[in-house]
Amino acid sequence: MKILKYVIIMTAAVLAGCSSLRLSPADFSWPVESVIRVDDNGMAKEDRYALSFNAKPLYFEETGDSLAYLDRDLRVIRDTLGYYYITGNKFKNVYVFTMGDGAFNLYNEIQVSETGIANPVFNQRPPYVELIEGDNQYCLSNSGIEKEKK
């Protein structure tokens, strides 16, 4: 009987030691958007969140112009699940990215305008990220537009 108790206790200890540590729930959101100036080399850098990335491919994807990043700003916010939402003035889309090995990976491209948005602003509205453009308001998730208010 003592041996059975010992085996059960040891098995439980070994199984508990093999499980991976999970800290849940976790909130990865940024309270407000960051407006990031793209430098002359095409790099976007936000010191507050220790974030930097090459913005050239994003501008090329959006505009088809390899120099469209010059003298421009990007709007970036992170939601509670850790997805990054990026857009800019005159963009037609909001780009949703995940983190990869030293890179951003495109998760979704959300079209919000046929002609380009003017002066976009992001806000946190859990569980959504709110995009405001003039009188238009969009509640976004990583899968697309969830609600549109006009």
What does the pLDDT average to over 94-121?
96
H or E segment and range at residue 4: helix 2-18
What is the enclosing helix (H) or strand (E) of 149? strand 144-149
Residue 63 has pLDDT above 80, yes or no: yes
By percentage, how much of the chain surpasses pLDDT 90?
75
Q: In this predicted structure, what is the pLDDT of residue 112? A: 96
Q: What is the mean pLDDT of residues 56-77?
A: 95
pTM of the model: 0.84
The pLDDT tens digits of the residues spanning 7-60 come to 666 666 555 556 689 898 899 998 889 999 999 999 999 999 999 999 999 999
Q: What is the DSSP string of 8-21?
A: HHHHHHHHHHHSPP
Could you read off the pLDDT of 134-146 as tens digits, one per residue? 899 999 999 999 9
* Residue ranges of domains in the chain: 28-149
